[in-house]
């Protein structure tokens, strides 16, 4: 990702608070995560329209690959008979080899910004994995607020905000993070499952996470990984047999083994070796309670193998995953095969 000018790069929580205090009429947002864009639009909607804001009634969406700029600008002059205000979301869809907004489109929007409709909030959004300010340097305007939403630095804080209305301890959030992917959209899906499961109690507990994400309270995935990396095949198989998992248990377990091996491989990188504390935990995606123990497990395992064996471990995982998806082999036998192969490297 190219270096973004600090005046455009903004923390998600800071942006959300800023929008709550003062809603800009014209806003352009870039983010790697769709859910962050959706949440800012929702926050803006409640502030700009009011407590009865409704996506269905108050939000109009246009797509750059389907709608013309003229349609968008025309919409800024149209208010429904009963509506006092409206939000327009113009989603910029980058085509292969494209550079975002075309020159003529930028010119049209800039003309609108000169004399915008105060009863319209225009939010332009771009879902980009690689930010490129060079494509928008000629698009700045005094009546346009433009921001690149920075990566979430405090994931537990964001997760806690998603559980608004539910009681959840910080240590429970750390526990939950052990079973999540790095995608915020995927994490959000798991959060919604938990909220539905805990609807009556209004409290998210480790027990609920065990039931929803799959692992029993007696053994955790960390116990399994620690045992596997210690090359104790018999104990690893025993833990596997005692873990009460959900329907997609085996693929979930393979995902966690793969994540652990990725973390081990990152320890080979010079940049990672310089990290310590939270910076190291974040890079290795370690969110459990005993982070130092997990780092120690990874480093101990790394001392016993080399890059060739690491590559072989990934190949074993690929082979087992492929076999599972063909449904021609018994999953339990495949997992036991995987345990034996990785422990013997």
Q: Report the chain's mean pLDDT, rounded to a whole number.
A: 85
At residue 4, does pLDDT exceed 70? no
At residue 113, does pLDDT exceed 80? yes
Q: Are residues 100 and 120 in the same domain?
A: yes
Which two structure tokens, joined as six digits, stand for 127?
Answer: 């879902």
Q: Over pLDDT 70: what percentage of the chain?
A: 88
Q: Are residues 63 and 79 in the same domain?
A: yes
> Is 3 among the domain residues?
no
241 pLDDT tier (thresholds 50, 70, 90): confident
> Is 196 among the domain residues?
yes
At residue 185, does pLDDT exceed 60? yes
Q: Are residues 317 and 337 in the same domain?
A: yes
Convert the pLDDT of each residue in 26-63 to its tens digit. 999 999 899 999 999 999 999 999 988 999 889 999 99
Nearest residue to 128 via CA among 91, 165, 179: 91
Instruction: Give the CATH number, domain containing residue 28.
Output: 3.40.50.300
End position of a domain, from candidates 136, 152, 168:
152
Q: Are residues 55 and 93 in the same domain?
A: yes
**Mean per-residue pLDDT, 106-119:** 94
Q: Are residues 186 and 122 in the same domain?
A: no
At residue 327, does pLDDT exceed 90? no
Q: Are residues 33 and 86 in the same domain?
A: yes
Q: Are residues 180 and 142 in the same domain?
A: no
Domain that holds residue 76: 9-152
Q: Are residues 180 and 75 in the same domain?
A: no
Instruction: Give the CATH number, domain containing residue 188.
Output: 1.10.8.60
- How many helices, marked H, and strands, marked E, lie in the chain? 17, 6
Q: Are residues 49 and 170 in the same domain?
A: no
Residue 200 has a pLDDT of: 84
Q: Are residues 248 and 144 in the same domain?
A: no
Question: In the chain, how many domains are there?
Answer: 3
> Is 1 among the domain residues?
no
**Mean per-residue pLDDT, 87-93:** 93
Q: Are residues 108 and 16 in the same domain?
A: yes
> Is 44 among the domain residues?
yes
102 pLDDT tier (thresholds 50, 70, 90): confident
Instruction: Give the CATH number, domain containing residue 236.
Output: 1.20.272.10
Please answer whether residues 158 and 33 qualify as being in contact, where contact means their C-beta atoms are separated by less than 8 angstroms. no
Convert the pLDDT of each residue in 125-172 to its tens digit. 998 766 566 677 778 899 999 999 988 888 999 999 999 999 999 999
> Is 270 among the domain residues?
yes
Return contacts of 152-159, CB within 8 angstroms, 24+ apart.
152/12, 152/33, 152/36, 152/184, 153/11, 154/13, 155/287, 156/287, 157/13, 158/12, 158/13, 158/184, 159/187, 159/191
Q: What are the residues facing 91 on neighbouring strands?
A: 63, 125
216 pLDDT tier (thresholds 50, 70, 90): very low
Q: Are residues 190 and 222 in the same domain?
A: no
As a whole number of angstroms, the distance between CA 115 and CA 255 comes to 53
Please answer whether residues 216 and 242 qualify as being in contact, where contact means their C-beta atoms are separated by less than 8 angstroms. yes
> Is 88 among the domain residues?
yes
């Amino acid at each position: 990702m190219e270096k973004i000018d600090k005046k455009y790069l903004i923390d998600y929580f800071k942006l959300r608070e800023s929008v709550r205090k003062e809603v800009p009429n014209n806003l352009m947002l870039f983010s790697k995560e769709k859910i962050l864009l959706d949440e800012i639009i929702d926050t803006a909607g409640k502030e700009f329209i009011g407590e009865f804001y409704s996506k269905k009634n108050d939000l109009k969406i246009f797509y750059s690959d389907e709608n013309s700029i003229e349609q968008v600008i025309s919409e800024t002059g149209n208010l429904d008979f009963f509506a006092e205000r409206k939000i327009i979301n113009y989603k910029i869809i980058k085509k292969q080899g494209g550079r975002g907004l075309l020159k003529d489109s930028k010119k049209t929007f800039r003309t609108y910004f000169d004399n915008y409709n105060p009863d319209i909030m225009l939010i332009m959004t771009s879902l980009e994995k690689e930010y490129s300010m060079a494509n928008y340097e000629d698009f700045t305007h005094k009546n346009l607020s433009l921001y690149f939403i920075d990566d979430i630095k405090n994931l537990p804080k964001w997760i806690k905000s998603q559980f608004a209305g539910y009681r959840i301890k910080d240590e429970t959030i750390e526990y939950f993070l052990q079973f999540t992917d790095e995608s915020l959209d995927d994490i959000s899906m798991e959060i919604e499952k938990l909220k539905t499961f805990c609807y009556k109690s209004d409290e998210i507990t480790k027990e609920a996470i065990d039931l929803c994400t799959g692992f029993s309270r007696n053994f955790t995935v960390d116990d399994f990984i620690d045992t596997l990396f210690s090359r104790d095949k018999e104990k690893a198989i025993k833990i596997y047999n005692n873990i009460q998992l959900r329907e997609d248990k085996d693929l979930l377990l393979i995902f966690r083994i793969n994540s652990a091996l990725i973390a081990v491989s990152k320890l080979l990188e010079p940049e990672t070796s310089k990290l310590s504390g939270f910076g190291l935990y974040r890079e290795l995606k370690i969110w459990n309670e005993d982070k130092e123990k997990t780092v120690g497990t990874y480093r101990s395992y790394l001392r016993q193998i080399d890059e060739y064996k690491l590559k072989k471990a990934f190949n074993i995982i690929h082979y087992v995953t492929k076999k599972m998806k063909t449904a021609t082999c018994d999953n339990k036998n495949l997992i036991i095969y995987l345990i034996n192969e990785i422990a013997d490297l």
